[in-house]
Structure 1
Amino acid sequence: MIIRQFLAWTQHDSATRRAEAATHLARAFLYGGLGAEEAWEAKTALIGLLDDPARQVRMALAQACAACPATPRPLIVALASDHADIAAIVLARSPVLSDADLVDGVAIGCETVRAAIAVRDGLGYAVAGALAELGEVPSLVALAANHEAEVTTGSLLRMVARHGDAAPLREALLARPDLPVEVRQAVTARLAESLAAFAVASGWLTPVRSARASREARERATLAFSVKAEPTDLARLVTHLRRHGELNAGLLLRAILSGRMAFVEAALADLTGLNRNRIAGLMLDASGAGFAALHRRAGLPEALLPAFAGALSAWQEAVRGRSDLSEAALSRRMIERALTACETMPFAEAASIMALLSRYEAEAARDEARLVAKAIGEVAQAEEQSRLDAEVVDAEWRDAKNDARNDVKNQVGMAQITKAPDYADLEATAAKPVPDIAPVPDIGIPIEIDPIAAVLDALPGALLSEFTQARERQRDRDDRPAADDSIPDALVASYRADRERLAA
């Protein structure tokens, strides 16, 4: 009977009443435990509501059925093809839809629909790949922010390649906890390109200088990412760099001068196909024929061999403990050794290499100066903080001393107001010990205080003079012999006779 009433309401002229009827009918069908006949009638009515001309009715139907796994599949598929705001509700939440349905929604939907799909829980690889290939910035940002989504490294790289110039997408990708190192490098490269283009457009740098600055920034970032990377991550990183034409001799030279030997080994292994252990052994003897053969097999310029050998020899000395490398990104000692190795080369061959090494030397000097300035600043800050702490302790000690003196003055003043001066009490107060002030921790010298002197110093001058005179008079009285203050016997006998006479 109730189902038939709901069915009657679905034919009402008011769209609001039809929307309410759709909501109640959907809930009764999904959660009401209807019988077979009533369930069939309710299901038929719900599917019939898909043809309702009012968007409000279909919206209410989508909101009531989206999250329930018992919703009829034809109903959900039809709602997923409705207007974007209606389709987004079921595409974001319905467990009835398969990955094929979601991929189809990505293909034919707008950005509102794609963004709704991108935030689904447990999003699969196929759907994430379709979004990475077809989605625009809003849906890609939603996908990158969905940390539960299964996104392959290839899909992430495709997102960066298509819309890596969008800052919201870069921020969302860098916030992912499991971001592969090659994706991080790709995001950094796109950021460097964007900054270089902005500098050129603003007229701050020429295109050539901007390109050089962008390339050096990418190289520094790439080597920074490789510091804590695992061997497998390093292998993927160098493969990604080689495929994009970024694994060049300049990057390898910077890596050697920075002491990133794990990256150098992985890069040479990728370029030559040799085992990393064998490459590490050849690098130990950079001046030998084995390393020269490795250099040629990797396809590196022959003119760079002396610079590579000189830098590696300086690195070997540092490893053996005969010298120290700088903590900066680039080692000046290794750069100087590479410059020395290139001095014997013909000028035509050595000019560009010497210029590159000179730029590296200037960069290393700036890095070292930055580190030294930071260390000096930290020491100066610590000294200043220590001085401020000492001033605070000294001020607290002075305040405590003044508070002790003020307490004594207040006690003496109250004694004057409440009663006449009792010089014996004042003397007892003066003799009472005053608590010693704790020593200053930083100085370590305790302050000795005479208790009686502290009390006497706190008394007014007139009161102190009167107190002193009273003490002298008291001493004079104490020195005199004690007077006999007993009553004479004759006076006592006369007093007793008078008492007896009066009693009679």
Structure 2
Amino acid sequence: MVAYQEFVSLSRSLDSEERGSAAHLSALAYLNHVGPADEQAALYAALIGFLDDPSVKVRAALAYGLLHSSEAPRPIMLALLHDSAIIARAVMQYSPVLIDADLIGLIKALDLSMLVAVSQRARLSPRLAAAIVARGHNSVTLRLLRRMDIALGDALLSELATSLAEQAEMRGALLARKDLPAAARLLLVQKVTEALRGARIVKGALPEDRLARVLRDSCDTALTAIGEREAGRAGGGYVAALIGTDRVNTRVLLHAVVTGHVMFFADCLAELAQTPRAKVFTLLENGSRVALNALFSRCGLGEGVRNLLARLVLHARATDLADDAGARHYVVTALTEELIAEHGGVIPEELEEAFAYLSEQNILLARKAARGVMAAFAQDAVTPMALPAGMADQQLALPAA
């Protein structure tokens, strides 16, 4: 324990190191004091005195002693906040005493290093985060986006998704956030698709028509997957916005069921038919084909599409379309064959889009199902696959070089 006379000697020393020790000891003594009020007042006065010390080292030692405590005196921390840059940055980043009102007015004039310090505070309110983002420093904005503990708010995230959608690093940080609004996520997925379509390595890997099909299928999957996640959220408005911009069509409805995103499918039907969601679920789970047709008719769908969707729903009741690629392939194959048989190979114009979608999916799902079958066979097979008789010893004749 330091005696009072020794403390006085340290605090009046010509050596800044010794005065710094006295300042740090004063800070610790103030924070841990449990004695009379007049002693607390004397310690407080000593802290105030060190604020006027001409040495940055002394004031820094004072700040270091008080920096992480929520019991530090506000007037002293505010004074240190306007001290030299090295002290102000530390106080701005670490002091829990400071509140939004202390910082919000300073943010407009802070330099980049100070903005970084604010962005690294343990707690940031959405208002303070928005003020930091408004400064327009992308490096600082990226830091905030990568902090999942900060609630940035739907409005700010949507604004950032719109303004920063062309920057790949920003897109990645935004898409990694679970609180990103559904509409903003879909917008970023579309930007990613455009970027992939224009990338030389992607364009060189696939023929143009196949690349277009792959990207379109991926976009449809993203659209329905986002809808599945948003399904049932009060006031989300995701499905309503899609319908308002004509993004929900026969292809999207088919894709929602084929990929197992039935919650999104039900939300689309409820919005199109202006029917309670619970009633739509009941019809999808237990309704007869006639009842399903009536529901689809209320959605404004044509007769051919109504019949196709009714068949798809009936097939989906008996299979696991969410996780089983083989089941998906079976259902899509069955629907395709039923359409060909019903219309004698001449598909009506109303169903051309749906038939083209089913044909695309048939190829994709056949590949997925085959990969799963071959993998399972390789794990279970205990003997080599037997070749047809006469082929085992057959030699391949290679042309001369």
C-alpha contact (below 8 Å) 2:115/2:140 kept by paired residues: yes
Alignment of 1:47 onto 2:44: no
Instruction: Tell me the amino acid that sits aligned with residue 364 of structure 1.
Output: N
Q: TM-score, with normalisation over the residues of structure 1?
A: 0.56
Alignment of 1:236 onto 2:231: no
What are the Cα deviations for residues 239-294 of structure 1, in whole angstroms up to 9, with x where unaligned?
A: 48539948432433432454533212212334554312444549854785653342
What are the Cα deviations for residues 10-44 of structure 1, in whole angstroms up to 9, with x where unaligned?
A: xx4x6656655543443344446672563253133
Listed as ranges, the matches of 1:301-316 within 5 Å are 305-306=302-303, 308-316=305-313
Listed as ranges, the matches of 1:154-303 within 5 Å are 154-163=155-164, 179-180=178-179, 182-183=181-182, 186-187=184-185, 189-191=187-189, 193-194=191-192, 196-202=194-200, 205=203, 214-226=215-227, 229=229, 231-233=231-233, 236=236, 238-239=238-239, 242=242, 245=245, 247-249=247-249, 250-258=251-259, 260-271=261-272, 273-280=274-281, 281=283, 285=290, 288=293, 291-295=296-300
Q: Does 57-66 or 68-77 show the bigger shift? A: 57-66
CA distance in 1, matches of 2:240, 2:79: 43
CA distance in 1, matches of 2:238, 2:50: 57
What are the Cα deviations for residues 130-164 of structure 1, in whole angstroms up to 9, with x where unaligned?
A: 45555645444544454444444444444444445
C-alpha contact (below 8 Å) 1:256/1:308 kept by paired residues: no
What are the Cα deviations for residues 211-240 of structure 1, in whole angstroms up to 9, with x where unaligned?
A: 87555423212333555x474249737248
**Could you say which residue in structure 1 is the equivalent of 2:68?**
67
- Higher relative contact order (Cα pairs below 8 Å, separated by 6+ residues): 2
Structure 1 unmatched ranges of 5 or more: 296-303, 388-504
Instruction: Tell me the amino acid that sits aligned with residue 313 of structure 1.
Output: A
Evaluate the alpha carbon distance shift between residue 173 and residue 197 of structure 1 in structure 2; reply closer, same or farther with a 3 A threshold. Answer: closer
Instruction: Tell me the amino acid that sits aligned with residue 373 of structure 1.
Output: R
Q: Secondary structure of the equivalent of 1:68?
A: coil
CA distance in 2, matches of 1:293, 1:243: 15
Provide the aligned length of Structure 1 versus Structure 2: 361
Listed as ranges, the matches of 1:423-442 within 5 Å are none
Evaluate the alpha carbon distance shift between residue 66 and residue 243 of structure 1 in structure 2; reply closer, same or farther with a 3 A threshold. Answer: farther
Q: Does 197-206 or 63-72 show the bigger shift? A: 197-206
**Could you say which residue in structure 2 is the equivalent of 1:79?**
80
Specify which of 377, 380, 383 is matched with residue 378 of structure 2: 380
Instruction: Tell me the amino acid that sits aligned with residue 253 of structure 2.
Output: L
C-alpha contact (below 8 Å) 1:259/1:315 kept by paired residues: no
Listed as ranges, the matches of 1:362-381 within 5 Å are 362-381=360-379
Q: Secondary structure of the equivalent of 1:48?
A: coil
Evaluate the alpha carbon distance shift between residue 83 and residue 47 of structure 1 in structure 2; reply closer, same or farther with a 3 A threshold. Answer: closer
Q: Secondary structure of the equivalent of 1:97?
A: coil
CA distance in 2, matches of 1:215, 1:81: 55
Q: Could you say what the CA RMSD is over the residues aligned between the two structures, in angstroms? A: 4.5
Alpha-carbon shift at residue 372 of structure 1 (Å) = 1.7
C-alpha contact (below 8 Å) 1:124/1:150 kept by paired residues: yes
C-alpha contact (below 8 Å) 1:255/1:261 kept by paired residues: yes
C-alpha contact (below 8 Å) 1:314/1:337 kept by paired residues: no
Listed as ranges, the matches of 1:393-404 within 5 Å are none
User: Matched residues, percent identical?
Assistant: 20
Instruction: Tell me the amino acid that sits aligned with residue 71 of structure 2.
Output: A
Instruction: Tell me the amino acid that sits aligned with residue 248 of structure 2.
Output: N
Alpha-carbon shift at residue 307 of structure 1 (Å) = 5.2
Evaluate the alpha carbon distance shift between residue 231 and residue 203 of structure 1 in structure 2; reply closer, same or farther with a 3 A threshold. Answer: closer
Alpha-carbon shift at residue 312 of structure 1 (Å) = 1.1
Evaluate the alpha carbon distance shift between residue 338 and residue 104 of structure 1 in structure 2; reply closer, same or farther with a 3 A threshold. Answer: farther
Q: TM-score, with normalisation over the residues of structure 2?
A: 0.68
Instruction: Tell me the amino acid that sits aligned with residue 46 of structure 2.
Output: A
Q: Secondary structure of the equivalent of 1:236?
A: coil
Alpha-carbon shift at residue 91 of structure 1 (Å) = 2.6
